[in-house]
Amino acid sequence: MESMTTSEASSREARTPRVLYRQAQARDGADQAEVFHHAVMQGAATHYSVPEREAWAGSMPREASAWAARQAFYTTLVATCDGRCVGFLEVDLPRAHVETLYVWPSLARRGIGSTLLVHAERMLIEHGTDKVTVDASLMLAESLLRRGWHDLGVEWVTREGVRLERRRLERRLSAVET
């Protein structure tokens, strides 16, 4: 095991942002709007064309009030760094369905989305649910399939007059005793 001096450890901690997870608050709406916009326009660039991403991003207003209003319909979990929302997940608990999962593009592939999913799955288990579904973008579907989700097939959704491909996925949930 590599040893570090206190100053080296402090320096490493200073470079590694601390991500906290909690339930969303209305004040997170503005950050959610930005995370959504940038995750779609930048993060999905390898899987969707510019017109597809513009239609997708244009399907939701880039306004705090729109995202804060959604918090009344879905249980919304956020990942925060330095007090700002850098990722979020919306889950419809009665339907056991993940509505959205977005992470700021520069922080993608660091476990933030996976951790949000773990928290959502725990909530679903506590509500007596044994499976969860998601209508995943092509980018998200790749990641979830590697993590044991099952592909239920292709779906098409229209956003701003443009058809977008997505995958319907499902995962069985089981409680783990600790």
Which of 121, 120, 151 lies closest to 136 in space, CA to CA? 151
- Over the stretch 71-118, which tens digit does the pLDDT of each residue have? 999 999 999 999 899 999 999 999 999 999 999 998 888 889 999 999
Q: Specify the CATH number of the domain 19-172.
A: 3.40.630.30
Write down the pTM of the prediction. Answer: 0.86
| Mean pLDDT taken over the chain | 89
pLDDT band at 136, cuts 50/70/90?
very high
Which of 74, 73, 136 lies closest to 101 in space, CA to CA? 136
- Over the stretch 23-47, which tens digit does the pLDDT of each residue have? 999 999 999 999 999 999 999 999 9
Q: Which residues of 60-90 are buried (b: 16+ CB within 10 A; e: fewer)?
A: beeebeebbebbeebbbbbbbeeeebbbbbb
